[in-house]
């Protein structure tokens, strides 16, 4: 029998003890019960608690609440598992189990690789490479899917999650409204009350694990001026929802004050108007006061780009100047109310151009977040990029095309900003879906994490679906491990993941995936996101290799289909379904490359009902909203010998 003695009284430490017990029982199912007690003076068994309660040094962290230290000193009978904060104790439990061979490849019990053997001694102390390691809600989901995801995060070393908008209803609506597959699947409706309750449930699940809660984001440009908040997300509303006396607060574009394309969250307000700013500040402070459980409140401007007020007053300064002025006023009001809420403000589209006049007065409250949404995901940085810096021209801006440009703009911000920096990335939004291997984008994530560390960022929050595990979860696993431990090589991460997912078939399956990407290169598939002409007879010839690769992959799948380990069976099942998806993409891409647009549409219509069924088979891992959106882009992209490429405005919808 094993004993777990809790040294520190804390609900997250309580949960950590239960998790340790659960996995010890799974690893040693015949070893008897595991007793949990609260005994601060205990010297036997496993002892869980804060490092400070063990008189262990924590002086190498800047902020005990934000920085994690993982501390393990155990023999075959137990020992100390600790951290500098309660969350770190839980992370240390999972790291202890990892050193004993446990792996978590994707959410829920089906994603667990739990070996059966006696425990081994572990001595380990580690401060994770990045402070903020996490994700932001996106895609389409149910509350069960989100619960499983939150439970999964700390198991792979993540500690941060963002709930976007006042209520993240748009992400539930996509699932129940069957976004992008509505013509072949039955819709359901879910009310706002339920989604509000689910939001609070998610916050409680995060608090249980000590996960840092980031909240809101877009919405502060319209919500403060409405008697009731606007649609949460990218929904449309008529300007009549704004009282007549406050419609002058809405940004003026083309001589008219109205919602941009009918979307409140894509509309900036007249930030030079002191009354409008006062309403915004009051709304933000009230929200912060009521939602004191929020660790970081994100105050973003409108989504989209080239949508800032053009009135004479606003035109006197850049949007980033007015934005910084607003942040200073928010800080002053929070200070007046004795609120220590941390604020995140964002370098995003138009605010990529740094302020010329205004400066953040209290940097200790703020974190600056770079969101390079228009970057090219074909590469990270080589050091030889041509950097083109555009002059600021209100509402007529060409956005940065790569990280070199974004970082050049960001360097201008840093001339007046000396506070903390974090990155808001988009690998798990659309970019991952242009990679048939799932390995290419994982390598990009690894390279980007290294680059961001070198450029002084202290974390990455990924904006992308919570179901990024089809046909495998290597990209997500790489995201988590690269932020946690910079000493790991990419090859080590790949080998670790595939060995647990596919066992003896790991090398063969990896080789087939690499071959698929070589036959339909990421750079070619990515053209549809960049709105480039897809017509290419040379690509059509290259794509002809895919049916042979798929047939060979199917043979490999059949060899390793009957796994004794559940995570292996599920991984193989995903790969089996993936061969159908790849064939569908191949057939559409082949016709598009030859300019046969009608035939591409016919193939799309024929296969969509079958692909939509995948979400019912693997609901935790396949996000129809995201993947079908990309295949729709492929179906609808330009494919014409004489076509010219165009640039589109970016909007996360």
| Residues 422, 264, 195: CA angle, nearest 5 degrees | 75
What does the pLDDT average to over 611-622? Answer: 92
- Please check the confidence at residue 492 and state whether its pLDDT lies above 60: yes
As a whole number of angstroms, the distance between CA 467 and CA 221 comes to 30
Between 112 and 237, residue with greater pLDDT: 112
Predicted TM-score (pTM) of the model is 0.95
Are 582 and 634 contacting, i.e. CB atoms less than 8 angstroms apart? Answer: no
Task: For residue 161, list its beta bridge partners.
Answer: 135, 213
Task: Indicate whether 646 pLDDT > 60.
Answer: no
Contact of 514 with 441, CB cutoff 8 Å: no
- Count of C-beta atoms within a 10 Å radius of residue 80: 17
3-state secondary structure of 503: helix
Under DSSP, the state recorded for 516 is: H
Peptide bond into 471 cis (omega under 30): yes
308: its two tokens: 């800032």
Could you identify the residue written with the tokens 């935790």? 620
Kindly state the average pLDDT of the residues 15-23.
Answer: 98
Q: With the C-alpha atoms ordered 460, 466, 469, 473, is the resulting torsion angle positive or negative?
A: positive
**What is the average per-residue pLDDT within 504-521?**
97
> What are the structure tokens assigned to 236, written together?
């449309």
pLDDT the model gives residue 28: 96
DSSP state of 364: G
The mean pLDDT value of the chain amounts to 94
**Mean of the pLDDT values across residues 134-152?**
97
DSSP 385: P
> What local confidence, expressed as pLDDT, does residue 138 receive?
96
Q: How far apart are CA 132 and CA 422, in angstroms?
A: 8
Assess whether pLDDT exceeds 60 at residue 630.
yes
- C-beta of residue 453 within 8 angstroms of C-beta of residue 486: yes
Q: What is the dihedral of CA 635, 640, 643, 647, to 10 degrees?
A: 20
C-alpha to C-alpha distance for 653 and 643, rounded to whole angstroms: 26
Nearest to 390 by CA among 338, 354, 426: 354
Mean pLDDT of 434-458: 96
- Rounded to an integer, what distance in angstroms lies between the CA atom of residue 476 and that of residue 432? 10
CA-to-CA distance for 303 and 264, rounded, in angstroms?
9
383: its two tokens: 């050091």
Per-residue pLDDT averaged across 305-326, rounded? 97
What length does the chain have?
653
Contacting residues for 148 by C-beta, under 8 A, at least 6 apart: 107, 108, 620
Q: Among residues 414, 428, 425, which one has the least CA distance to residue 460?
A: 425
Structure-token pair, residue 463: 């904006």
Mean pLDDT, residues 446-453 taken together: 96
Task: Annotate 301-359 with DSSP letters as a single string.
Answer: --SSSS----STTGGGS-HHHHHHHHHHHHHHHHHHTT---EEEEEEEGGGGSPPSS--
Collect all residues with Cβ–Cβ distance below 8 Å to 17 and sequence separation of at least 6.
Answer: 4, 6, 36, 48
Three-state secondary structure along 420-468? EEEEEECCCCCHHHHCCCCCHHHHHHHHHHHHHHHCCCCEEEEECCCCC
Query: Whole-angstrom Cα distance, residue 222 to residue 216?
Result: 13
Percent of the chain scoring above 70 in pLDDT = 97
Helix, strand, coil percent values for the chain (each to nearest 5): 45, 15, 40
275 touches 247 (CB < 8 A) = no
Reported confidence tier of residue 563, pLDDT bands at 50, 70, 90: confident
- CA distance to 357, 418, 454, per residue, from 364 (Å): 20, 10, 22
Give the lowest-confidence range in 155-169, 529-543, 636-650.
636-650
* Strand partners for 298: 216, 344
17/360 Cα distance (integer angstroms): 43
CA dist 449 and 520 (Å) reads: 26
- Of 465, 559, 550, 451, whose CA–CA distance to 505 is shortest? 559
Distance CA 56, CA 329 (A): 41
What b/e readout covers 297-334, taking b as 16+ CB neighbours within 10 angstroms?
A: bbbbbbbbbbbbbbbeebeebbbbbbbbbbbbbbbebb
Rg, the chain, Cα only: 25
Structure tokens at 559: 């060899």
The mean pLDDT value for 368-385 works out to: 86
Instruction: Give tens-digit pLDDT for 219-271.
Output: 999 899 987 766 567 888 888 889 999 999 999 999 999 999 889 889 999 99
pLDDT at 240: 87
3-state secondary structure of 550: helix
Task: Express each pLDDT in 144-186 by its tens digit.
Answer: 999 999 999 999 999 999 999 999 999 999 999 999 999 898 9
């Amino acid at each position: 029998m094993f004993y777990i003695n809790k040294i520190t009284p804390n609900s997250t430490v309580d949960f950590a003890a239960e998790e340790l017990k659960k996995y010890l029982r799974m690893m040693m199912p015949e070893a008897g019960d595991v007793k949990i007690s609260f005994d601060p003076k205990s010297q036997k068994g496993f002892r869980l608690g804060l490092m400070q309660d063990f008189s262990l040094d924590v002086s190498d962290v800047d902020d005990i609440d934000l920085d994690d230290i993982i501390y393990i000193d155990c023999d075959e009978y137990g020992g100390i598992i600790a951290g500098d904060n309660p969350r770190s104790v839980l992370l240390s439990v999972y790291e202890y189990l990892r050193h004993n061979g446990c792996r978590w490849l994707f959410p829920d019990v089906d994603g667990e690789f739990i070996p059966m053997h006696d425990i081994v001694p572990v001595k380990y102390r580690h401060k994770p490479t990045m402070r903020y390691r996490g994700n932001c809600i996106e895609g389409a989901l149910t509350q069960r899917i989100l619960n499983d995801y939150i439970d999964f995060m700390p198991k792979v070393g993540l500690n941060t999650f963002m709930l976007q908008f006042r209520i993240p209803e748009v992400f539930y609506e996509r699932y129940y409204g069957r976004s992008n597959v509505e013509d072949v699947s039955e819709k359901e409706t879910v009310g706002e009350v339920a989604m509000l309750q689910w939001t609070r449930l998610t916050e409680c699940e995060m608090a249980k694990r000590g996960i840092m809660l980031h909240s809101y984001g877009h919405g502060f440009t319209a919500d403060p001026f409405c008697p009731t908040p606007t649609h949460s997300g990218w929904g449309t509303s008529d300007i009549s929802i704004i009282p007549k006396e406050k419609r002058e607060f809405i940004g003026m574009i083309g001589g008219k004050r109205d919602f941009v394309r009918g979307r409140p969250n894509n509309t900036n307000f007249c930030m030079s108007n002191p009354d409008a700013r006062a309403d915004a500040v009051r709304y933000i402070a009230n929200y912060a006061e009521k939602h004191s459980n929020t660790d970081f409140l994100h105050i973003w401007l409108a989504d989209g780009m080239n949508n800032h007020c053009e009135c004479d007053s606003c035109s006197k300064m850049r949007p980033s100047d007015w934005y910084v002025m607003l942040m200073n006023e928010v800080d002053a009001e929070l200070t007046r109310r004795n609120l220590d809420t941390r604020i995140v403000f964002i370098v995003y589209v138009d605010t990529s151009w740094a302020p010329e006049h205004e400066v953040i007065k209290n940097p200790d409250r703020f974190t600056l977040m770079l969101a390079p949404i228009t970057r090219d995901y074909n590469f990270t940085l080589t050091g030889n990029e041509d950097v083109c810096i555009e002059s600021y021209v209100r509402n007529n801006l060409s956005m940065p095309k790569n990280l070199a440009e974004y970082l050049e703009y960001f360097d201008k911000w840093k001339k007046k900003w000396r506070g903390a920096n974090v990155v808001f990335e988009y690998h798990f939004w659309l970019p991952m879906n242009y990679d048939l291997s799932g390995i290419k984008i994982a390598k990009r994530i690894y390279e980007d994490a290294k680059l961001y560390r070198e450029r002084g960022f202290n974390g990455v929050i990924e904006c992308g679906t919570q179901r990024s595990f089809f046909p495998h979860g290597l990209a997500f696993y790489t995201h988590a491990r690269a932020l946690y431990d910079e000493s790991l090589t990419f090859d080590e991460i790949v080998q670790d993941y595939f060995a647990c997912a596919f066992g003896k078939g790991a090398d063969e399956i990896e080789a087939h995936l690499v071959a698929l990407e070589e036959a339909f290169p990421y750079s070619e598939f990515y053209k549809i996101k960049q709105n480039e002409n897809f017509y290419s007879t040379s690509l059509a010839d290259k794509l002809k290799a895919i049916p042979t690769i798929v047939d060979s992959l199917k043979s490999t799948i059949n060899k390793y289909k009957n796994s004794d380990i559940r995570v292996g069976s599920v991984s193989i099942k995903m790969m089996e379904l993936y061969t159908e998806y790849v064939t569908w993409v191949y057939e559409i891409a082949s016709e598009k490359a030859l300019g046969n647009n009608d035939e591409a549409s016919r193939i799309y219509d024929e296969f969509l009902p079958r692909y939509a069924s995948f979400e019912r088979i693997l609901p935790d891992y396949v996000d129809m909203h995201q993947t079908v959106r990309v295949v729709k882009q492929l179906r609808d992209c330009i494919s014409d010998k004489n076509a010219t490429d165009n640039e589109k405005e970016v909007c996360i919808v």
